[in-house]
Amino acid sequence: MNIHEYQGKAILKSYGVSIQEGIVAETPEQAVEAAKELQKQTGTGWWVVKAQIHAGGRGKGKIVGTEQRGVALAKNLDDVYNISKALLGNVLVTIQTGEAGKQVNKIYVAQDVYYPGESEPKEYYMSVLLDRAQGRNTIIYSTEGGMNIEDVAHNTPELIFKEEIDPATGLQAFQARKIAFNLGVTGEAFKQMVKFITSLYNAYDGIDSAMFEINPVLKTSDNKIIAVDAKVSLDENALYRHADYAALRDISEEDPTEVEAGEHNLNYVKLDGNVGCMVNGAGLAMATMDIIKLSGGEPANFLDVGGTANAARVEQAFRIILKDKNVKAILVNIFGGIVRCDRVAQGIVDAYNNIGEINIPIIVRLQGTNAVEAKKIIDESGLKVHSAIQLAEAAAKVKEVLA
């Protein structure tokens, strides 16, 4: 589960990680109040106004139809007001949002941390994540902060370092020192960096995070080490241990149809294609999407009805798929194991009758437990449904209806 920068930073701070301080706001007036409050707390003279959306690349991204960037510097309170007004309620398009962009509902008014001082500010990159091959957490870090890390990895892979964490011991002090040495920080900044790394890993471990990406980590001109941005993702499987984090979910960041599907325990991901699908099991669902593509269509969704597909769930799944007006045909692919195909078939017939006008062709492929009885139910229902038992037959029928 992804959370916003302001939420991630609050969590980091609670673990003793130094952050660029800020206050969240939902209106330009609140933003100005936040700026005044922040000036009182931190003494900052300028502010940075940052759009809060679940996507990176905000600094380079623009509000649709304007030149307004998703992160902007405000040198006075009028700037704070105007930037906030330009961001709030409007759609921000970044390299990660796709063309549709994301609506900005909240902004984060943050202190300016690039102030001049005894030394030059310097940006670094740091992330903590699972190395799947090793089954261990890893800290990835680089001297090249503030840039797209994929570009750094591509152009200068020698500037990216990894530090693997032994699950039995957790992060050790020598590892934090090694990272700080490799980043080339010295003196007070070295001490601050060791502390930053240690508390960052503690936070990652403590909250059951799935991923931390802090880009940039900033050494300020007065040798503080702080997280200027924070991309924090939580392990959904571990949310039961952190009941309070459920409230951090921002449903407005998600596709409304996906949210509705989730409420019915359907695992649905909306895609851009023209053929909907309903499948039991994640692997078979992905394979079914692939079949659609190979048959000349494009998958309109991923939808796993799960291991207990009954009539009610099947009907709900149809309703979800039909919300997408791009869908020109639906392929139902159920491999009945524990699930009985005849029950699914009855669910399809019921859904058809309950929903009423379904004007697009439906191809139903039911295989496994009671598949023959299921085909009989479909064939005798009088519905305009194409039924198949073999996967190859279903693929051929998709091709046929799209022709």
Partner 1 sequence: MSVLVNKHSRILVQGFTGSEGTFHAGQMIEYGTTVVGGVTPGKGGQRHLDRPVFNSVYDAVKQTGADVSIIFVPPPFAADAIMEAAEAGIGLIVAITEGIPTKDMIMVKNYLSSRKARLIGPNCPGIITAGEAKVGIMPGFIFKKGPVGIVSKSGTLTYEAVDQVTKAGLGQTTAIGIGGDPIIGTTTKEAVELLMNDPETEGIIMIGEIGGGMEAEAARWIKANGTKPVIGFIAGQTAPAGRRMGHAGAIVGGAEDTAAAKMKILRECGITVADSPADIGRLMAEALGVLVR
For residue 370, the surrounding DSSP H or E stretch is none
Closest approach of Cβ 16 to partner 1, in Å? 20
Q: Is residue 228 a contact partner of residue 113, using CB atoms and an 8 Å limit?
A: yes
Q: Is residue 277 a contact partner of residue 298, using CB atoms and an 8 Å limit?
A: no
Q: Which of 390, 308, 374, 315 is nearest to 342 (CA)?
A: 374
Closest approach of Cβ 144 to partner 1, in Å? 18
Closest approach of Cβ 208 to partner 1, in Å? 5
Shorter beta-carbon distance to partner 1: residue 271 or 383: 271
Closest approach of Cβ 236 to partner 1, in Å? 8
| Choice from 108, 367, 374, 397 touching partner 1 (CB under 8 A) | 367
Ordered DSSP codes for 150-215: HHHHHH-GGGEEEEE--TTT-S-HHHHHHHHHHHT--HHHHHHHHHHHHHHHHHHHHTTEEEEEEE
Residues 91-150 that bind partner 1 (CB under 8 A): 130, 132-133, 135-137, 150
Residues 332-361 that bind partner 1 (CB under 8 A): 335-338
Neighbouring C-beta atoms of residue 96, cutoff 10 Å: 14
Neighbouring C-beta atoms of residue 376, cutoff 10 Å: 14
By CB under 8 A, residue 286 contacts partner 1: yes
Helices (H), strands (E): how many in the chain? Answer: 12, 20
Closest approach of Cβ 271 to partner 1, in Å? 7
Catalytic residue among 5, 163, 213, 258: 213
By CB under 8 A, residue 164 contacts partner 1: no
Closest approach of Cβ 72 to partner 1, in Å? 26
By CB under 8 A, residue 68 contacts partner 1: no
**Rounded to 5 degrees, what angle do the CA atoms 29, 50, 154 make?**
175
Per the DSSP assignment, residues forming a β-bridge with 268 are 303
Shorter beta-carbon distance to partner 1: residue 184 or 307: 307
Phi, psi dihedrals of residue 74, rounded to the nearest 5°: -115, 125
Q: Residues near 369 by Cβ (< 8 Å), separated by ≥ 6? A: 336, 337, 338, 339, 340, 341
The tokens describing 129, both together, are 């994540």
Q: Is residue 321 a contact partner of residue 260, using CB atoms and an 8 Å limit?
A: no
By CB under 8 A, residue 298 contacts partner 1: yes
Q: Is residue 242 a contact partner of residue 3, using CB atoms and an 8 Å limit?
A: no
| Choice from 43, 116, 240, 357 touching partner 1 (CB under 8 A) | 240
Closest approach of Cβ 165 to partner 1, in Å? 9
| Choice from 289, 321, 344, 378 touching partner 1 (CB under 8 A) | 289
By CB under 8 A, residue 384 contacts partner 1: no
Q: How far is CA 213 from the centre of its chain?
A: 13
Distance (Å, whole) CA 264 – CA 316: 8
By CB under 8 A, residue 76 contacts partner 1: no
Catalytic residue among 6, 108, 124, 125: 125
| Choice from 68, 175, 280, 387 touching partner 1 (CB under 8 A) | 280
Closest approach of Cβ 390 to partner 1, in Å? 7
Region near partner 1 per CB under 8 A, out of 14-22, 101-109, 163-171, 355-363: 163-171
By CB under 8 A, residue 265 contacts partner 1: no
Residues 189-218 that bind partner 1 (CB under 8 A): 205, 208, 210
Mark whether 268 is an active-site residue: no
Q: Which of 229, 233, 248, 231 is nearest to 110 (CA)?
A: 229
Shorter beta-carbon distance to partner 1: residue 287 or 355: 287
Distance (Å, whole) CA 369 – CA 160: 52
| Choice from 85, 177, 293, 319 touching partner 1 (CB under 8 A) | 293
| Choice from 142, 369, 377, 397 touching partner 1 (CB under 8 A) | 369
Q: Which of 403, 9, 339 is nearest to 203 (CA)?
A: 9
Residues annotated as catalytic (active site), given as ranges:
125, 213
Please give the residue ranges that form the binding site for partner 1 (CB under 8 A): 130, 132-133, 135-137, 150, 166-168, 205, 208, 210, 235-238, 240-241, 267, 269, 271, 273, 279-294, 298-299, 302, 304, 307, 335-338, 367-369, 390-392, 394-395
